[in-house]
Structure 1
Amino acid sequence: MKTFISLLLFSIISFSLAQESPDPVRDIDGNLLRSGTEYYILPVFRGMGGGLTLAPTRNQSCPLDVVQESLEVDNGLPLKFTPVDPKKGVIRESTDLNIVFSAFSICIQSNVWMLEEYEGQLIVSGHGMSGNPGQETLSNWFKIEKYEDDYKLVFCPAVCDFCRPVCGDIGVTITENGRRRLAISDEPFKVVFKKA
């Protein structure tokens, strides 16, 4: 019996060690994206707007939502990525992470990305909560996934074992006032990362 249990434990440990980690995400210079380091998220196609920032999109001054700058020469605001395991230093593809702008805003909000419903659309706003993975923070976790030769942002958190979140690619939608707001979309926003 002891031999069977030892063999079973050895098999489980061996299987766990054999599983490869997801590929690391790289910036436009080929360097690894690191937790706690500031980056800009930029569109691959520079003729269609600039980097990401916070702006009002709801016919009121607060809260601020995540939008794309209208001018391609504008990098937007720097931001940081924090993986679900904050001890991990490298950001990896298809793993849950918080995204937070490194800036002050006119609104009293955290600048942590979160997905929320507004007028029938699932949009990305900047008043989420960092850390504490689980059911209460489900809307605050995003992923970076490889998309063709670049990357895309995805909402499909795995921080809650029994939750069944809506999953989808993050794309750009145009609001009534002409803002390029991030939201769940059929067309992914193809991006690269540049160290700030």
Structure 2
Amino acid sequence: MGNNKPLSFFTLFLLVSAVAVSAEDEVEPAKDTNGNPLKSQTQYFIQPGSDKKGGGLVPASTDLTHLCPLGIVQTLLPFQPGLPVNFSNPSSQNDDVLTTNTDLVIEFQSPIWLCPSSKIWKVDTSSSSDKNYVTTGGSSSTRESFFRIQKYGNDESTYKLLVRPPGFSNLYNYESDSVIKGIGATTGFFGAPILVLEGDNDDNNVFPVKFREVDTSTENVFAKGLRMFPTF
């Protein structure tokens, strides 16, 4: 009996550790609104995951005095699904299926682009504003453009976006929750929500999203979603 005691304590420790692992740390295929896994070679509209009025996410200026870089804004027009994006994994170009809690690069897909900078999303920490906006002009090799998708609430296809702000070492170290920040929204021009970096990753502060696959065979994407500024 004495020999079984250490083993019992060890087994109990493993069980407690397994229970303590949050679903937030699980790596599983992220899903679109049809329940299909997100894929790197597929285009998606990013749309609000809650009952917010309006349409999907589009690029638009965050500053009336400057056009570029473009911020990420939810269009107020409910018939606008957004501007398509695609996702890529910066650490592995061979992964077709995209997973939660994994670094991803998000890039708008549009044949028309008014800014000299890239269509890749990033967290802009260079602005003099007191808010760190999510903007375009990022790079697939810098961590301010590395976003993560994490489950939000109980709906199978609703997620929140996370990022680790610049200034932390160890590019892929997400072990500490204190360095993971959620993407929320602040009110911009005409009341349109603009994506910003939050101070934490609490569900109450983030902007929940869903990913709707672009079906080019049945909808006129260029008419509905690819106009540069369908925001207002």
Q: Normalising to structure 2: TM-score of the pair?
A: 0.67
**1:161 Cα offset (Å):** 5.3
Code of the residue aligned with 1:175 in structure 2: it is: G
Contact 1:40 1:52 in 2 (8 A): yes
Task: Find the residue that maps to 2:191 and give its secondary structure.
Answer: coil
Equivalent residue, structure 1, for 2:180: 167
**1:114 Cα offset (Å):** 0.4
Which structure's residues are more often strand, by fraction?
Answer: 1
4+ runs of 1 displaced by more than 4 Å?
161-166
* Distance verdict in 2 for CA 1:161–1:98, change over 3 Å: closer
Aligned mate of 1:111, from 119, 123, 130: 119
Q: Between Structure 1 and Structure 2, whose CA radius of gyration is higher?
A: 2
**1:48 Cα offset (Å):** 2.5
**Cα distance in 1, alignment partners of residues 187 and 81 from structure 2:** 19
Please say if 1:88 is aligned against 2:95: yes
Please say if 1:102 is aligned against 2:115: no
**1:43 Cα offset (Å):** 0.8
* Distance verdict in 2 for CA 1:97–1:174, change over 3 Å: same
Code of the residue aligned with 1:28 in structure 2: it is: T
Equivalent residue, structure 1, for 2:221: none
Task: Find the residue that maps to 1:139 and give its secondary structure.
Answer: helix
**1:166 Cα offset (Å):** 4.7
Contact 1:34 1:90 in 2 (8 A): yes
Task: Find the residue that maps to 2:133 and give its secondary structure.
Answer: strand
Q: Normalising to structure 1: TM-score of the pair?
A: 0.79
**Cα distance in 2, alignment partners of residues 56 and 33 from structure 1:** 28
Equivalent residue, structure 2, for 1:66: 72
Equivalent residue, structure 2, for 1:76: 82
Contact 1:63 1:107 in 2 (8 A): yes
Q: Could you tell which deviates more after superposition, 71-80 or 167-176?
A: 167-176
Count residues with an aligned counterpart: 172
Task: Find the residue that maps to 1:193 and give its secondary structure.
Answer: strand
CA RMSD after TM alignment = 2.5
Contact 1:51 1:68 in 2 (8 A): yes
**1:162 Cα offset (Å):** 7.5
Cα offsets for 1:135-191 (capped at 9, x unmatched):
xx1111000001112211111279715899953111111125534210113611111
Structure 1 unaligned runs (5+)? 1-20
Structure 2 unaligned runs (5+)? 1-25, 199-203, 215-232
Please say if 1:143 is aligned against 2:112: no
